[in-house]
């Protein structure tokens, strides 16, 4: 890091203090800043300021404010010398920043007035912003919620990630098929600060030479290979109603400015020196678009090491400035591994301590394991990362040696505890003795951390009794824990549903609930207040009208806002079972078609809304999208059906669309095969916005049920403890599909929804290939439960009461609670309270 240590001498500091920048606090000050940015930063004027420019200037005005607080926060933390948390995540699904910044610093009304004075509408300005979509789904959005909570609770914390030039692709639906379009989001991003002075050179490839030092100790030297430079870009993260402003540091790759390039250049090899540059920039070029799937690509491993090495260099440099002894490192630093993607950090820190700083292995290893915590986000085997030993050897030769040593010492302790248990040794070895040999990253993360946690109770139980059970025997149960996920109520209630937030504030004594979500429980006291319930229902209706307009505008389909809005928006995955939902929709369509017109008149109108991206290489998920769209094309223009059923596929589901969709749902679907969804977090968002859930006994649905009461949720389907037996029976017994589901399949195969071959594999997966996700087992109870939903929705008064009661009992699911649990149980960090 070539950062300059420029500290102003005492006598000159007065001049600085006199001119200290204080952010605007009123409308006039805000307008002045906006106009200044339009006229100078953007070089425009009132004659050519469009909404885009107004958005940019508004954002810059807020960014200036944030960075002032950011500087003070960093100063405060450095002076206090308290322990910091570093959250390492390959994904941060941030969404938009402006609205969030305005609300968190409490100046949205000021900005609204100012923007109005200057000739624009705040809603239009907010809509100008491109989502920062540096993530796939749940894992990345959780990281973003955590950043909001860390700042809001005044924890000294930094996020570290990659500054992808292309975030998750944009999804277009063309003729019913998903088409991927690159998401270049950096044209103009007012929220980042390039730190061209904060750079780290990262090494790849090369070889390891060993030598003896003067005491006869063997020292490893990693030499040769190639160097890529990491450049820091910082994004300020404002806390809600606090001056604390934390940092998200994202690394961007560029060619090293070392002599190598220059030499090539001077030798006239211009092309190849430019090619080198492009190759270096490729590292941070694109986010891998897989959710819950590991593809084992070399570039992905390069991304991981690049990001982890730069972050650790940064963390270690900061620690060294404090001049403390190495053994105090874990008193200053807690590093959380967001899934196994950053696991090389364990190896890198050991390498820094042993090879560069000269510590003894054991002393270094103590420091390493006291520093790291590891969060697991899935039990799906296809998502558990493994890297071929050969690839690791080639790309990171020294790291592979260290991994082998870590494994050797670990297996020695296992051998001591379980003598002669060869099976145990093979089962827990970090190296899988397969063809080719593989490094098991989850095992490395467990061995390298002092705590391992799952993300909901069921999930944490499952990891301890299935995929990691031998590690529980080895390390003891204390090392394993649960921290149930949460969501930030600032974005997912206050920002997404401002009217509901105001109504809640009026009944709970102000906006305190946004800082302490358990205060929502006061809402139950107002449940018999007719005017309150009426307004509650009106807000839901208004949110549905807004979505109705959006559907009309984007899809030219007219839906009835009084219909029941049934929503399933999330990544498309067989385990999440959008196929169960669409089969259920087809079943409903067939039932409606079979009715007499009189009978039909008695039915409840429903809109089935889907949204979500499929990984580009996930063929079955793409078939599911195709079927949903084809069903919509038939149903939506069937004159027999009219309003009674509409099927909508919302294109390009992302964070900002979620902010519009979630508040408009009556019922949302969280229907994964039991034991597959680690937690789910959108389930929490939907309930918090006054919608009910239809769901399986999976992930956080179970805890949501416990909190809100089972009378307020529609649960159905197989329990996780029965899944294995059913799967076994499908394969080895006789597996039959009931007649209702068969009718659905027959309809698909008759060509009603287009070329039947397009959906052959989807049907066969259930009917002929073992039905791994238990669609056939759960179909009937799903249909029956949907019938109950219809019945209960007709009693609107009781429905609204259920919604209110549910919201009142959602306090537990704040990411603030969740972060406090991590802080106390895993990181051992305290907030730095601001006076």
- Which range, of 138-146, 255-263, 414-422, 546-554, touches ligand 6GP by CB under 6 A? 138-146
Q: Contact between 454 and ligand 6GP (CB under 6 A)?
A: no
Set 229, 343, 378, 681: catalytic member: 681
Is 40 a residue of the active site?
no
Give the single-character DSSP code of 136.
-
What whole-number distance in Å separates Cα of residue 458 and Cα of residue 447?
23
Is 570 a residue of the active site?
yes
Residues 358-377 that bind ligand 6GP (CB under 6 A): 377
| Shortest separation between residue 169's beta carbon and ligand 6GP, angstroms | 16
x/- map, 634-673, ligand 6GP, by CB under 6 A: ----------------------------------------
Q: Contact between 161 and ligand 6GP (CB under 6 A)?
A: no
Among positions 31, 33, 261, 677, the unique one binding ligand 6GP when judged by CB under 6 A: 677
Residue with tokens 């149903």: 635
Set 165, 570, 577, 657: catalytic member: 570
Set 249, 576, 735, 802: catalytic member: 576
- Residue whose CB is less far from ligand 6GP, 245 or 460: 460
Give the single-character DSSP code of 562.
T
Longest dimension (CA), the chain: 96
Q: Contact between 137 and ligand 6GP (CB under 6 A)?
A: yes
| Shortest separation between residue 740's beta carbon and ligand 6GP, angstroms | 29
CA distances from 248 to 103, 497, 668 (A): 19, 26, 32
What whole-number distance in Å separates Cα of residue 721 and Cα of residue 608?
30
Residues 331-350 that bind ligand 6GP (CB under 6 A): 339
| Shortest separation between residue 674's beta carbon and ligand 6GP, angstroms | 13
CA distances from 817 to 157, 159, 349, 685, 834 (A): 16, 19, 30, 15, 20
Strands (E), 182-244: 193-204, 207-212, 218-223, 226-238
Percentages helix, strand, coil for the chain, rounded to the nearest 5?
Answer: 55, 15, 30
Q: Count of residues binding ligand 6GP (CB under 6 A)?
A: 18
Give me the residue whose beta carbon is nearest to ligand 6GP.
Answer: 138
| Shortest separation between residue 599's beta carbon and ligand 6GP, angstroms | 40
What whole-number distance in Å separates Cα of residue 28 and Cα of residue 454?
49
Alpha helix ranges (H) inside 636-713? 655-661, 682-688, 701-708
CA distances from 517 to 180, 279, 522, 703, 811 (A): 38, 48, 10, 16, 4
Q: Contact between 699 and ligand 6GP (CB under 6 A)?
A: yes
| Shortest separation between residue 676's beta carbon and ligand 6GP, angstroms | 8
Is the separation of the CB atoms in 108 and 117 below 8 Å? Answer: no
Q: Contact between 485 and ligand 6GP (CB under 6 A)?
A: yes
Give the single-character DSSP code of 297.
-
Q: How far apart are the first and last CA of the chain?
A: 33
Is 571 a residue of the active site?
yes
Is the separation of the CB atoms in 160 and 88 below 8 Å? Answer: yes
- Which range, of 219-227, 466-474, 527-535, 674-682, touches ligand 6GP by CB under 6 A? 674-682
Is 685 a residue of the active site?
yes
- Residue whose CB is less far from ligand 6GP, 383 or 424: 383
- Residue whose CB is less far from ligand 6GP, 636 or 683: 683
Task: Give phi and psi for 704, each to the nearest 5.
Answer: -60, -45
What whole-number distance in Å separates Cα of residue 328 and Cα of residue 322?
10
Q: Contact between 292 and ligand 6GP (CB under 6 A)?
A: yes
- Which range, of 396-404, 620-628, 630-638, 677-685, touches ligand 6GP by CB under 6 A? 677-685
Set 685, 727, 802, 805: catalytic member: 685
* Vertex 39: Cα angle to 48 and 193 (nearest 5): 110
Residues 210-269 that bind ligand 6GP (CB under 6 A): none
Q: Contact between 139 and ligand 6GP (CB under 6 A)?
A: yes
Q: Contact between 383 and ligand 6GP (CB under 6 A)?
A: yes
Q: How many CB atoms lie within 10 A of CB 198?
A: 20
Q: Contact between 681 and ligand 6GP (CB under 6 A)?
A: yes
Strands (E), 346-429: 372-375, 386-388
| Shortest separation between residue 141's beta carbon and ligand 6GP, angstroms | 8
Residue with tokens 């008193």: 331
Q: Contact between 776 and ligand 6GP (CB under 6 A)?
A: no
Q: Contact between 508 and ligand 6GP (CB under 6 A)?
A: no
x/- map, 414-453, ligand 6GP, by CB under 6 A: ----------------------------------------
Give the single-character DSSP code of 770.
-
Four-point Cα dihedral 719, 724, 726, 730, nearest 10: 150
* Residue 272, both tokens: 């190849």
x/- map, 572-591, ligand 6GP, by CB under 6 A: --------------------
What whole-number distance in Å separates Cα of residue 20 and Cα of residue 133?
34
DSSP state string for 9-38? -GGGHHHHHHT------SHHHHHHHHHHII
- Residue whose CB is less far from ligand 6GP, 220 or 380: 380
Is 108 a residue of the active site?
no
Which residues are near ligand 6GP by CB under 6 A?
Answer: 137-139, 142, 291-292, 339, 377-378, 383, 455, 485, 677-681, 699
Give the residue numbers annotated as catalytic, written as ranges: 377, 570-571, 576, 681, 685
């Amino acid at each position: 890091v070539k950062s300059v240590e420029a500290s102003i001498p005492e006598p000159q500091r007065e001049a600085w203090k006199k001119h200290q920048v204080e952010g605007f606090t009123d409308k006039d000050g805000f307008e002045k800043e906006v106009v200044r940015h339009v006229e100078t930063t953007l070089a425009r004027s009132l004659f050519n300021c469009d909404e885009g420019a107004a958005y940019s200037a508004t954002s810059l005005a807020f960014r200036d404010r944030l960075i002032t607080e950011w500087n003070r926060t960093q100063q405060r933390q450095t002076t206090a010398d308290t322990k910091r948390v570093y959250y390492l995540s390959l994904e941060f699904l941030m969404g938009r920043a402006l609205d969030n910044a305005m609300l968190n610093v409490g100046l949205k009304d000021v900005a609204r007035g100012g923007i109005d004075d200057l000739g624009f509408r705040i809603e239009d300005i907010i809509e100008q912003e491109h989502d920062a979509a540096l993530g796939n789904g749940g894992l990345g959005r959780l990281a973003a919620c955590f950043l909001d909570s860390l700042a809001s609770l005044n924890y000294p914390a930094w996020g570290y990630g990659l500054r992808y030039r292309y975030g998750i692709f944009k999804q277009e639906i063309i003729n019913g098929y998903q088409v991927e379009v690159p998401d270049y989001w950096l044209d103009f991003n007012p929220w980042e600060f390039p730190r061209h002075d904060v750079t780290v050179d990262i090494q790849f490839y090369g070889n390891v030479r060993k030598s003896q030092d003067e005491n006869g100790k063997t020292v490893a030297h990693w030499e040769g290979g190639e160097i890529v430079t990491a450049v820091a870009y910082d994004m300020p993260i404002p806390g809600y109603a606090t001056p604390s402003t934390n940092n998200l540091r994202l690394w961007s790759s560029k060619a090293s400015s070392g002599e190598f390039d220059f030499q090539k250049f001077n030798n006239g090899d211009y092309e190849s020196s430019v090619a080198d540059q492009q190759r270096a920039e490729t590292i941070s070029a694109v986010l891998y678009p897989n959710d819950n799937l590991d593809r084992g690509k070399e570039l992905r491993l390069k991304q991981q090491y690049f990001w982890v090495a730069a972050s650790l260099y940064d963390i270690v440099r900061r620690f060294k400035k404090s001049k403390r002894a190495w053994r105090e490192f874990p008193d200053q630093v807690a590093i959380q591994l967001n899934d196994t993607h950053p696991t090389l950090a364990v190896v890198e820190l050991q390498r820094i301590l042993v090879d560069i700083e000269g510590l003894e292995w054991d002393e270094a290893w103590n420091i390493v394991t006291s520093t790291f915590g590891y969060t697991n986000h899935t039990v799906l085997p296809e998502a558990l990362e493994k890297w071929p030993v050969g690839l690791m050897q080639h790309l990171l030769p020294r790291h592979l040696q260290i991994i082998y040593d870590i494994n050797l010492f670990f297996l020695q302790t296992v051998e001591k505890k379980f003598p002669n248990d060869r099976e145990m040794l093979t089962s827990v070895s970090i190296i899988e003795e397969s063809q080719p040999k593989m490094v098991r990253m989850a095992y490395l993360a467990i061995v390298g951390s002092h705590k391992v946690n799952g993300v909901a109770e069921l999930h944490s139980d499952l990891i301890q009794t299935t995929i990691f059970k031998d590690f529980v025997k080895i390390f003891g149960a204390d090392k394993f824990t649960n921290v149930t996920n949460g969501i930030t109520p600032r974005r997912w209630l206050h920002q997404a549903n401002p009217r509901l937030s105001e109504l809640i504030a009026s009944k709970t004594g102000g906006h305190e609930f946004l800082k302490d979500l358990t205060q929502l429980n006061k809402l139950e006291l107002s449940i018999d207040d007719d005017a309150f319930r009426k307004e509650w229902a009106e807000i839901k209706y208004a949110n549905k009208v807004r979505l109705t307009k959006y559907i009309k505008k984007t899809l030219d389909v007219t839906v009835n806002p009084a219909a029941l809005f049934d929503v399933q928006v999330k990544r498309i995955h067989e385990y999440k079972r959008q196929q169960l939902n669409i089969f259920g929709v087809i079943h409903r369509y067939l039932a409606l078609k079979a009715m007499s017109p009189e009978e039909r008149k008695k039915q409840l109108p429903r809109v089935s809304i889907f949204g979500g991206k499929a990984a580009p290489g996930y063929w079955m998920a793409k078939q599911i999208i195709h079927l949903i769209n084809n069903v919509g094309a038939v149903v939506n223009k069937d004159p027999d059906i009219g309003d009674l059923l509409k099927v909508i596929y919302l294109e390009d589901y992302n964070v900002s669309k979620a902010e519009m969709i979630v508040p408009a749902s009556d019922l949302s679907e969280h229907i994964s095969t039991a034991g597959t969804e680690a937690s789910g977090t959108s389930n929490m968002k939907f309930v918090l916005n006054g919608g009910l859930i239809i769901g399986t006994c999976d992930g956080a649905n179970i805890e949501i049920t416990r909190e809100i009461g089972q009378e307020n949720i529609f649960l159905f389907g197989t329990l996780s403890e029965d899944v294995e037996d059913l799967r076994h029976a499908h394969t080895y017994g006789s597996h039959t599909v009931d007649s209702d589901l068969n009718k659905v399949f027959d309809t698909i195969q008759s060509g009603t929804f287009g070329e039947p071959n397009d959906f052959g594999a989807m049907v066969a997966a259930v009917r002929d290939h073992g039905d791994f996700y238990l669609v056939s087992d759960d179909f009937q109870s799903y249909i029956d439960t949907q019938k109950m939903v219809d019945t209960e929705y007709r009693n609107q008064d009781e429905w609204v009461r259920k919604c209110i009661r549910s919201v009142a009992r959602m306090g537990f699911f704040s990411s603030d609670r969740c972060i406090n649990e991590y802080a106390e149980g895993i990181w051992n960090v305290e907030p730095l309270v601001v006076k």
